[in-house]
Structure 1
Amino acid sequence: MKKKHGAVKFGIICLAMFVLYPAVQAFAAWNDVRTSYATYTGSGYSGGAVLLDPINPNMEITALNPTDMNYNGVKAALAGAYLEVTGPKGKTVVYVTDLYPEGAPGALDLSPNAFAKIGEMSAGKINISWKVVKAPITGNFSYRVKEGSSQWWAAIQVRNHFYPVMKMEYKKAGAWINLEKMDYNHFLGTNMGTSPLQVRITDIRGQAVLDTIPALPANGTSGAYIVPGNVQFPS
């Protein structure tokens, strides 16, 4: 009888621990196909949450739900990604430029030109599937240095990348220092100095490349500016 009571007590403790400490949310593999729904909106070409202006007004773009935007716990992980989206009428590729705050997991808020390619505009909401694909771009990275950046505080964004950017580090005194990715799609650093920055950038596949960014301004009086990069992720 004592053994039986002990087993029951152990089970109760395990159940309590499960309630108090729920499992960490599981994420799909980066290249898995998601299924959900799409709506459409005319916004996202300027002032989007992930600060990718300016955006060509003829581009097919999308806002992305918070679960997928912040993939694997990284803020703005899929900002600037390209998604192949399939709907009732066919498929197209869209560029992630904004957040869809109220969107369910998997949901997209497409630009009208993208929505019309894969569904009937009159429907307003359609069933879709999508996956991350290699960006249909050429050339190397570019970097947007946010306004107010300096040797003391800086926010740096990676643009024109084949695959979503998950991590950015810079080398200081022989060690790699991780920069936190913010929800506005910039990597934040402090006390980075006024020498050129050697950086290591890692994509959603785990592929990493090295590059050098010109020295930051000595003070924080400059506006935002873009500098060209020298590398690109492998295909």
Structure 2
Amino acid sequence: MKFCISSIIAMILLICVSLPVLAAGTETNYGYATYTGSGYSGGAALLDPIPSNMEITALNPTDYNRFGVKAALAGAYLEVKGPKGRTIVYVNDLYPEATKGGLDLCPTSFAKIGDMSAGKINVNWRIVKAPISGNVSYRIKEGSSQYWAAIQVRNHKYPVLKMEYLKDGQWINMEKTEWNHFISTNMGTRPVKIRMTDINGNTITDTLSGLLQSGTSNAYIVPGNVQFPDAN
């Protein structure tokens, strides 16, 4: 009987470890915020162009690369609460020297939730649904071709952790990079079916038009046909 009970407990633990550890918006994170006027171009997540009036933030490495996935929270929207109030910011950059929970906000956002003279304030934050409309879109990085391709998902409701493409009846995993693109080789030039998974464990499929035969010198955007569902 002891063996059976211990085996059942071990099985339950194994199942729990396999499940997603975060549902967007349900986990509150605690840390601090500073502010900077930079970040509107050349951010680590390569999400340019960023409108000059957009509220943005850089995020500490621990949270930026959650679940062992590089750039896991790139493109996420965070509701941030400070001493004076709350605001919503867009994650487009990395805050390398920050500890877990740390944010480097744009001045507009910092002023909404704290006193600028403080320079650094305690905050808490959570992931929320992006205030967007329409379907996802894809940025095809410069240099992409039938032989090597780097694809970024944009305009998604929640952070995207995984992308795969279908080849010969098999789903092939694409590695996510620290610069917020999924990369793969030998995807060909024909339209290709892709599958994406967000931070809530929701999966959607789409079809990308064929990649160029030779590498493109400029990045370009491809409109998508699907969008992630709302979190439960």
Q: TM-score, normalised by structure 2?
A: 0.88
Using the TM superposition, give the Cα deviation of residue 43 of structure 1 relative to its aligned residue in structure 2, in angstroms: 1.1
1:91-128 Cα distance to aligned partner (Å, 9 max, x none): 00000000000011000000000000000000000000
**Number of aligned pairs?**
210
For 1:98-177, what aligned pairs fall within 5 Å after superposition? 98-177=93-172
Work out whether residues 22 and 199 of structure 2, in 8 Å CA contact, stay in contact via their aligned partners in 1: no
Q: What does residue 178 of structure 1 align with?
A: 173
Q: Distance in 2 between matches of 1:197 and 1:183?
A: 24
Question: Any unmatched runs of 5+ in structure 1?
Answer: 1-26
Partner SS, residue 221 of structure 2: strand
Alignment equivalent of 1:72, drawn from 67, 76, 84: 67
Of 17, 22, 33, which residue of structure 2 is paired with 1:29?
A: 22
Please state how far the C-alpha of 1:197 moved relative to its aligned partner.
Answer: 1.4
Give 2:58's aligned residue. 63
Match of 2:49 in 1: 54
* Bigger radius of gyration among the two: 1
Match of 2:16 in 1: none
Secondary structure (helix, strand or coil) at the match of 1:128 reads: strand
Question: How far did residue 28 of structure 1 move?
Answer: 6.4
In structure 2, the gaps of 5 or more residues are 1-19
Matched to 2:86, the amino acid is: K
Q: Per-residue CA shift, 1:137-186, capped at 9, x if unaligned?
A: 10000100000000000000000000000000000001000000000000
Taking only the aligned residue pairs, the percentage that are identical comes to 69
Superposition RMSD in Å? 1.3
Matched AA of 1:100: Y
TM-score scaled by length of structure 1: 0.87
